[in-house]
Structure 1
Amino acid sequence: MPKVIGGSLATHREQVRERVFGALREQLYGRGFESVTLSGVAAAAGVGRSAMYNHFPDRQALLVAFVEAEAARYVADLDAALAGARSPAERLAIFARIQLRRLAEFHLPPGQALAGALDPQAYRRIAAHADPIGDRLTAILTDGALDGSLSGDDPAVLAGLVSAALSSRKIVEVPAAELDETVETAVRAVLRMVAPSTVPLG
């Protein structure tokens, strides 16, 4: 019987998951999803292959579980950061900055590439984790529209535009020494994108 880590079965399972997710994170960020194998992650995590398969029957199940855990942690971190902001514009700047930093770190294939790598059910489960993040962005834009500090245009439309801008890997694919300045440039551009209009259009 394998040794139980942490003194209880529940603690053992959680610690095994953390070790596996840590190993997977390094492989995803370093090489991308296509290079990931269960045996390779198990070896890097110091977990037996049988234990690995007991937790995750295949690499898609592993990726979905990892994204679910990462998304929960990310949303908690995002909420904590937003809680200290004094205005919708400040909250939007924080949101954009965190999103871009996350994009710079996270090396899963984007959009259709990820859809092609996973079966439809697994992809839908992963895509569902974008909803809480999008809800927070829409709420920021709605608050800004209500107090006049941001554009009064439809917040749902603006949220789609901002999300698209913040999901472009070209923004963050720069030398590490240039990343801080690049992120701040992008944050300023997002704020201008949703600034209140002072000139009538059309």
Structure 2
Amino acid sequence: MPKVLGGSLAAHRDEVRTRVFGALREQLYERGFDAVTLAGVAAAAGVGRSSIYNHFPDRQALLVAFVEHEAARYVTDLEAALAAAPTPTERLAVFARLQLQRLAEFHLPPGQALAQALDPAAYRRIAAHADPISDRLGTIVREGVAAGEMVAADPAVLVAMIAAALGARQIVDVPADELGGTIEAAVRIVLGMVRGT
């Protein structure tokens, strides 16, 4: 019988997922999704192959579960950071900074490539996790326009422009010692864009 990690079945499940997601995160960073296998993730996580298959029947299910976990963690972090920013402009700066930091950490193929790598149902589940984040950006922009802090433009257009700018991997694909400065430069540019300066 396989060893139960953590002393209970619930703790075992959480421990397996933590180890597996950590191993997957490293493999996505080092090799990309195309090179990920369940057997390779299980070995890197130090869990048995049968254990990983009990939790994730295939690599698409693993990726969907991983994205759901990461998105929930990110939304929690985002809400906490936004709560400390008193104005829409400051909230947009916080949002932009966190988005770019997460983009630097999170190595998945871009949307079109990911859509081709996954079946449509798996891709829809992953894409749905962007909705609360986009909604939060929309709220920040509408509040900024209403407060006169951002240009009086169609908020949907501003949101689309900001999202496109913050999704550009070229911003974060820089040496680690340059990342902080590059992110701050990008934040300044986004703030200038929404102020119309």
TM range (shorter): over 0.9
Q: Hey, what does 2:121 align to over in structure 1?
A: 121
Using the size of structure 1 for normalisation, the TM-score is 0.95
| Rounded Cα–Cα distance in structure 2 between residues aligned with 1:154 and 1:116 | 32
Tell me what 2:84 maps to: 84
Displacement of 1:93 in angstroms is 0.4
TM value normalised by structure 2: 0.97
Aligned pairs, number: 197
The answer (yes or no) to whether the contact 1:38–1:59 under 8 Å persists in 2 is: yes
Q: Which amino acid aligns with 1:107?
A: H
Runs of 4+ more than 2 Å apart: none
Instruction: State whether structure 2 residue 180 is matched by structure 1 residue 180.
Output: yes
What CA distance in whole angstroms lies between the structure 1 residues aligned with 2:6 and 2:180? 39
Task: Give the CA deviation at 1:99.
Answer: 0.6
One-letter amino acid matched to 2:42: A
How far the C-alpha of 1:195 sits from its partner, in A, is: 0.7
CA contact 1:67–1:126 (8 Å) conserved in 2? yes
Report which stretch shifted further, 1-10 or 108-117: 1-10
Corresponding residue of 1:43: 43
Deviations 1:56-85 (A, max 9, x none): 000000000000000000000011111100
Q: 1:138-193 CA deviation, whole Å, 9 max, x = no partner?
A: 00001111111112212122111100110011111112221111111110110011
| Aligned partner of residue 194 in structure 1, secondary structure | helix
How far off its partner does 1:196 sit?
5.2
Query: Identity of paired residues, percent?
Result: 72
**Alignment pair present for 1:24 and 2:36:** no
**Distance between the aligned counterparts of 1:196 and 1:148, measured in 2?**
11
Q: Counterpart in 1 of 2:150?
A: 150
In structure 1, list runs of 5 or more residues that go unmatched: 198-202
Letter in 1 for 2:60: Q
